[in-house]
Chain A
Amino acid sequence: MQLRDNGLRFSPITVALHWVVAFSLLAIFGLQLLINIAASEALQLQLGRLQNLVGLVLFLVSIYRFWARITSYHPLPVGTPNPIEVIISRSVAVSLALAMVLLPIAVWASRCAAGEVVELPGGWWIPSILPVNESLKHVVDVLFNIGASAFLAGLALHIFGAVKNHFLLKNNTLKRMLGKHVEL
């Protein structure tokens, strides 16, 4: 099995982890919605723990993904896109991978600075090594909001690119990320 990406194709690991990350993100957003409408505080806590677990998985997977992305060749683009589009799309992909490493760290740092414990299901928790500090929390929250906004903008561009390639240009860009072997 091909373990790393090369100029001709993505590895099955990259394809699998791409969708693990995509569904983890969806799960985090979905859980946040459920937390907001949960009837009891106990349910909110339970969902919050699950959300923290998904965030932890996302963080760990994203460390590998970011490392793999910057140390492997990116497969050649499908079709004949202009060079600027290629530069932008690849920069966005790398930035998204980096953001999914940094944003969970920011969430954890903010909770630590607020004196909250990041709880996980089964009575587990993530250790807090930062001091309780209101100013620190404020700084981290500001940075998180900036990063999250940029991340959402990048994600929108990423999805737009995928949709454009699939429906407008009718090429195999999206199918390649769904595991289809595309001969270049």
Chain B
Amino acid sequence: MDQDRLDFAGNAITRLCGVQYPIFLGGMAAISGPQLVAAVANAGGMGVLGGLRLPPLTLRRWIQETRALTDRPFGVNLVPQFGGPDVFEAQFQVILQEKPKLLSLFYAEKYAADMIPRAKDAGLIVMVQAGSVELANIAIAQGADIIIAQGSESGGHLNRGTIGIMPLLTSILAVCEGRPVLAAGGIAQGDDVRALMSLGASGVVVGTAFIATDESNAHPLYKQKIVEATTDDTEYRTGYSFGWTYGTPHRVIPNRDKWNLLRFIGGGARAIDKPRMAEKLSLYAGQGVGKIHSVVPAAERVAELARGLERLPVAELAATGRFLQEPRRTLGWQ
């Protein structure tokens, strides 16, 4: 795999995080486990453990298992849902003791003003996911090092609102005061990476494309659904999703079975779950799902995404911009 590696010179985010590529694994609850995180890290990206719903002891074990699989930097994503503030604080204590390279926060505005300085004092880089400019401003005021602009194309949970990645990214870039901003939402291939980085993103966060990898904790039927789904197949919902406050927005591949009450629940099916979980739930996925055609090793996925970091050959650049050089044709009514 190493010989296929792209010689990317690096940017602010890779230097800050100590990774080769500015490609981040989304910290998907239960799905982004030690194997996937280590595989992404070993391939040059930034793996992020999904800490949501993990009891503190399990979180510690996952961090230690990841360390046993890679000596590269990795992060942990925490969300103060499911279990309340005591669980969140206990998870945070584990983070402070284990000191992964990066702490990623989502839906944590209420706690972050206190938590971010504590994490930074412990030497961690803090990244906050925001689905609106208002939330990005809050995260900046609270001291976040990195902002993720999460477009509504994203799978799984979203902030309230339906702002697409292009307007959101550019708007957050305008207020970020020089901080690196990562783009998330619908990113599955190198071309997506190239497009968003050309808009000013310092890197990307990818979730759905990593569900369909050999190392992910997702149930094989869940991976299969990701592979089979088309771009048209996802749906934005505000109903119930397991472990989250009712009404939290999320994007799923909706289950359409008529006599199946579980279809109203958004969720992800783990490899340890029974097959009917994957068959009955509406499964989390983003709008990039139509571009995922097979289950591959995570390193291959990272390599494909990293292709978007290559400089375009001059000839190709010219081809891309050829419409700019075409003579403007006047239409009859002009």
Contact = CB atoms under 8 A, between A and B. Distances in A.
Interface of A: 6-8, 73, 75-76, 80, 82-84, 86-87, 183-184
A7 B243 contact: no
Nearest to B80: A7
Interface stretch (B117-125, B267-275, B308-316): B267-275
A175 B273 CA distance: 25
Nearest to B59: A184
A84 B262 contact: yes
B287 to A, nearest CB: 24
Contacts, number: 46
Considering residues A6, A7, A183, which has the most beta carbons from chain B within 10 angstroms of its beta carbon? A7
A87 B242 contact: yes
A8 B84 CA distance: 9
Contact of A84 (B53, B56, B57, B277): B277
B110 to A, nearest CB: 15
Given A83-B243, A84-B262, A6 B277 contact: no
Interface residues of B, number: 22
Contacts of A183: 57
Interface in B215-254: 242-243
A134 to B, nearest CB: 40
B10 interface: no
Contact of A8 (B87, B242, B270, B277): B87
A84 B265 CA distance: 10
Contacts of A87: 242
Contacts of B262: 84
Nearest to A184: B55
B24 to A, nearest CB: 26
State the 10 A-B residue pairs at the shortest beta-carbon distance, nearest first: A7-B83, A7-B87, A73-B84, A184-B55, A6-B86, A83-B242, A7-B84, A7-B86, A82-B273, A76-B55
8 contacts: A6-B87, A8-B87, A8-B90, A76-B82, A83-B242, A83-B277, A87-B242, A184-B90
Interface string B67-92: 00000000000000011111110100
Contacts of A6: 84-87
Interface in B175-230: none
Contacts of A184: 55-57, 87, 90
Given A73-B83, A75-B83, 20 more contacts: A6-B84, A7-B82, A7-B83, A7-B84, A7-B86, A7-B87, A8-B83, A8-B86, A8-B87, A73-B84, A73-B86, A73-B87, A76-B53, A80-B270, A82-B273, A82-B277, A83-B265, A183-B57, A184-B56, A184-B57
